[in-house]
Structure 1
Amino acid sequence: MILGRSDLADFACFLAIARHRSFRLAALELGVSPSALSHALKAMEQRLGIRLVNRTNRSVTLTAAGEELQNAITQPVAEIGQAMDNLNRYRDAPAGRIRLNVLVDAAQVLLAPVLPEFARRYPNIEIDIAATNRMVDVIGSGFDAGIRHGGTVPEDMIGQRISADLRWVVAASPSYIERFGIPERPHDLEHHHCLGVRLGDDRIYRWEFLGPQGEFAISVPSKIFVDEGRAMIALALAGTGLMYGTDAIFAPHLKSGDLRLVLEDWATTGPGYEIYYPSRRQVPTGLRLLIELIREMRPLGV
């Protein structure tokens, strides 16, 4: 049997649905609407004369035939996709699409300075970025790679460092300092208003410092909790409370004088950002070129 282009497209649609067990997530990975994906699967099943997927309002599961097809074509289709991507080496202008799951702060201070140049050099490569601090399975959610702090990359992934270590500091607006004063030691924070940091797994972050006896972490008094850096900076600029974060995030506001650092003698450093992807796959051309450009431009050092 000779396969045509439509067969390969059908297989790609089916495998995305099989991986995610969700038409919405599969459609997001493929860059189409859930309705279009549903119609494509229905047409495929009609041509084959076999039901591959059981669909209800609450779940998507594979039939026995669907599971057999998934097992049979997963590796061959992956190899075809890699072969197509390898052909990018022979193009005048590399093309393709990469999807990234990125920490919100990293999107702002790491990718934003690089992407204008990337778009200029590689106009045929599309980058789809989901900026979120929520913990997700990047591969199960259809991403090619993720960016998060070093030391938090899953063990079954390949991680590459793309920034220098990050310095963690506390900042406040001049209006806050005028009203409440400057904390001299981390434990003085007990008498201040602090913006609580909610992590991507819903835990509340304990602020970390470096003292004469080494690193330590403390729980700070908070009545306002935020899970995203830009919203937290807006609150800090308004004088709502002290904010904990990296000096890279604060840099433009420190330069303008809208924020000031406090407790600088107690600042600590932590691992920089890493980009990570599955060890079982070759790196897509677009992703490789992005990593190379980040290392070339060094927005946060490396």
Structure 2
Amino acid sequence: MLVTRTNLTDLAYFLAIARHRNLRRAGLELGVSASAVSHALKSFEERAGVRLINRTNRSVTLTSAGKALEESVSGSFADIGSALENLDQLRASPGGKIRINAVVDAVTLVLGPVLAELSRRHPDIEVDLVSSNRIVDVVGEGFDAGVRYGGTVPEDMIAQRLSTDLRWVVAASPRYLEEHGTPAHPNELRHHRCLGVRLGDDSIYRWEFEGPDGDFDVPIKSAMTADDSRSTLAMALNGAGLTFGLEPLFAKHVADGTLRLVLTEWITTGPGFYLYYSGRRQLPAGLRALLTIAGELKPLG
């Protein structure tokens, strides 16, 4: 086959399928639909006169010809990608698109100001941000990077710190405390209306504390449950109950008196936010710029 623009494009589609073994995920990486990936593959196989992929309703596997093609061209395409990314570094302002998956609180507390500054400095960088507390495979789902709390970053990823370690606190509105009293010990939470946060695996987050004997957690019976702390914060501000979360998330409300911290003698500190990415590919210019700005601004220290 001749090396044409069409064949090079189809090779890129084929390699994305080979990496992910999934048409939808390949499409996410390439920024196209799964049907577009399927159509490109079919056309490529027809021109080549050989089947490269075996597809069923449940799996995508490489044929022997597909495996041979992947082994032959994957290294060359990786070299081309690295060369293009190196060129991007020589531009006065980096560009391109980066996809980031981040826990919700990281978007509110860290990425918001950092991405705003990234946009001002590098308007050619396009950011696709997905905020969710659901744990995802960032590589498999087509993301360039993820942002999580330090203790939850997969071990096979390269991690860069975005914040200092963070304090976790319990807060409530003055109205709620006047009506229901103020707990003096974490064990008293079972007598209060607690606002729970649902984790990505559908479990309810156990509130964490530190006492004379070390760290411990307390299961709560949620009066109301939400998917993220922004929702429970909104309910707490209106007197719905006690909420648990990062101290910086509540700071301005504590300062203006609309929230009060309770159980302050039992406050615990946990790992801060980290940005993480696969070491199997060169770091995109947009992520390098984001990390530089985060290091300069230090939104949470």
TM-score (norm 1): 0.91
In the alignment, does 2:252 pair up with 1:263?
A: no
SS at match of 1:114: helix
Question: Once the 2 structures are TM-superposed, how far is the Cα of residue 251 of structure 1 from its aligned partner?
Answer: 2.6
Residue matched to 1:190: 190
2:157 aligned partner: 157
Aligned to 1:103: 103
- Please give the residue correspondences for 1:1-302 in structure 2 after superposition, counting only pairs within 5 Å: 3-301=3-301
The residue matched to 2:134 in structure 1 has which SS? coil
Q: Take 2:30 and 2:93, find their aligned partners in 1: how far apart are those partners? A: 22
Question: Distance between the aligned counterparts of 1:8 and 1:258, measured in 2?
Answer: 59
SS at match of 2:291: helix
| Aligned equivalents of 1:246, 1:181: Cα separation in 2 | 22
Q: Choose 99-108 or 215-224, whichever is displaced more.
A: 215-224
In 1: Cα distance, 2:229 partner to 2:74 partner: 39
Going from structure 1 to structure 2, the CA distance change for 1:33 and 1:273 (only over 3 Å counts) comes to same
Q: Aligned to 2:152, what secondary structure does the other structure show?
A: coil
Partner Cα distance (1:211, 1:177) in 2:
23
Shift of 1:198: 2.6
Deviation at 1:275, TM superposition (A): 0.9
3-state secondary structure, aligned to 2:170: strand
Q: 1:42 Cα deviation (Å)?
A: 2.2
Letter in 2 for 1:243: T
Residue by residue, what CA displacement relative to the aligned partner does 1:3-24 show, whole Å, maximum 9, x if unpaired? 3443332222112222333322
Cα offsets for 1:254-286 (capped at 9, x unmatched): 344332211122111111111111233332211
Per-residue CA deviations over 1:32-82 (Å, capped at 9, x if unaligned) read: 223332222222222212222234444433333223322332232122111
**What is the count of residue pairs matched by the alignment?**
301
Query: Which segment is superposed worse, 51-60 or 119-128?
Result: 51-60
CA distance 1:33–1:255, shift in 2 (3 Å): farther
Per the alignment, in what secondary structure is the counterpart of residue 182 of structure 1?
coil
One-letter amino acid of the structure 1 residue matched with residue 130 of structure 2: A
Distance 1:221 1:189 in 2: 9
Question: What is the CA–CA distance in structure 1 between the aligned matches of 2:33 and 2:280, rounded to whole Å?
Answer: 29
CA distance in 1, matches of 2:37, 2:154: 31
State how far apart, in whole Å, the 2-side matches of 1:267 and 1:168 are.
6
Aligned partner of 1:236: which letter? A
> TM-score, normalized by length of structure 2?
0.92
- 2:67 counterpart letter in structure 1: E
Distance 1:251 1:8 in 2: 53
Identity %: 57
Q: Secondary structure at the match of 2:151?
A: coil
Matched position secondary structure for 1:236: helix
Whether the 8 Å CA contact 2:25–2:140 is kept in 1: the answer is no
3-state SS of paired residue (1:151): helix
Deviation for aligned residue 1:207: 1.2
